[in-house]
Amino acid sequence: MGSKQRLLGHIADVAARSRRRTFVDAFSGSGCVAHHMKRLGYRVVTNDVLAFAYHWARAAVENSTVTMSAEDCAMLLAPNPAGGTFIGDTFAGLYFTDEENALLDAFSANVARLVDPYQQSIAYAAMTRACLKRRPRGVFTYVGMRYDDGRADLRTSLADHFRASVESWNAAVFDNGLRNEARLGSATALAIDEPSLVYVDPPYFSTRSDNDYTRRYHFLEGLVSYWRDLDLQPHTKTKKFANPHREFQSRAAAYASFEMLFERLREGGHDVLVSYSSNCLPSRDEMLAMLQARWAQVDVVSIDHVYSFGTHGHHVGNRNNRVEEYLFLGQIALS
């Protein structure tokens, strides 16, 4: 959800107007923007509040050399009698088959056998992606398979999705000669060690849709820690955990979070690049005012963008989904 894959060229063009050569992707999500900027020769720092997104970025952005072999994959997918049964016990009949739940329980124990932290991140990145692809609509907000439309991804086993995802991650690994970093935490508390261009693409608040990434992806977030320190809510149908993150989640929190974030970035002397869509709050004019109050030069680039929902893109072209997509660039110094 919210991936900016289709806007990479626009983002890179606007970023190039800033003199900064360190690119901080403060809400990295899939990591596709950070990976693109790494490819373009920036030093890249990623950050996300969700641990599974952190692993995606650590596997493909911070990691420059490490890949995973077919033997490693086989080890991760093998039964492990010493593994737990938490997934089988907790999520039986909800998202995956009993065999797949057993595979996920064993996988969770097997990951600890990988000594290289980047291999562990590739393993988590590939398995969470496999779970997404195996799941109708790619979300964990409902239980059962009621949106099964027969597409090939849903006929492919979790193990096969995993092997294919490992190949994709292996192919994404490259060295751009710079020390890139992935971080886990809130963007509002992010410490940045040099003047940078900070890319801001938070979950925008909208009265029309919910922006709760944790609710959609709770199973993936639980999987990468085996639900350690998460407050599972056994009474919920989906067996989600209580979302500890409140920033950007409500109308009031959104305004306060932007003010806090922008204030910190301005104090740190950073340039800022903000992705924004017209159907969200704060409004376009409010966003502009917040930026103009802090940065000497603010440019607004409008991109005509049609959102696609779900994994099919079947909403593409539907006029109701037409939103204006903007990039705001705030620069500390006049260019």
**Site residues (vs ligand SAM, CB under 6 A):** 2-4, 27, 29-30, 32-33, 47-50, 53, 186-188, 201-203, 213, 245, 247-248
**Which CB atom, from 93 or from 244, has the smaller least distance to ligand SAM?**
244
In the chain, the amino acid numbered 272 is V
**Which CB atom, from 110 or from 211, has the smaller least distance to ligand SAM?**
211
Q: In angstroms, what is the minimal distance from the CB of 37 to ligand SAM?
A: 11
In sequence order, which residues have a C-beta less than 8 Å from that of residue 99 and are 6 or more positions away? Answer: none
**32-39 vs 8-15: helix crossing angle, rounded to 10:** 50
**Which CB atom, from 53 or from 224, has the smaller least distance to ligand SAM?**
53
Q: In angstroms, what is the minimal distance from the CB of 199 to ligand SAM?
A: 7
**Which CB atom, from 245 or from 264, has the smaller least distance to ligand SAM?**
245
Strand, helix or coil at 271? strand
Q: In angstroms, what is the minimal distance from the CB of 84 to ligand SAM?
A: 26
Q: In angstroms, what is the minimal distance from the CB of 118 to ligand SAM?
A: 20
256 burial via Cβ count (<10 Å: 0-12, 13-18, 19+): middle
Measured from each CB, the residue nearest to ligand SAM is 29
Question: 52 and 217 in contact (C-beta within 8 Å)?
Answer: yes
Q: In angstroms, what is the minimal distance from the CB of 217 to ligand SAM?
A: 8
- Cα–Cα distance, 206 to 254 (Å, whole number): 10
**Which CB atom, from 3 or from 176, has the smaller least distance to ligand SAM?**
3
Please provide the DSSP assignment of 203-268 as one string: --B-SSS---HHHHHHHHHHHTTTTTT--B-TTSTT--B-----TTSSHHHHHHHHHHHHHHHHHT
* 225 backbone dihedrals φ, ψ, rounded to 5°: -120, 5
Q: In angstroms, what is the minimal distance from the CB of 50 to ligand SAM?
A: 4
Report angle CA 240, 241, 247 to the nearest 5 degrees.
115
**Which CB atom, from 80 or from 165, has the smaller least distance to ligand SAM?**
165
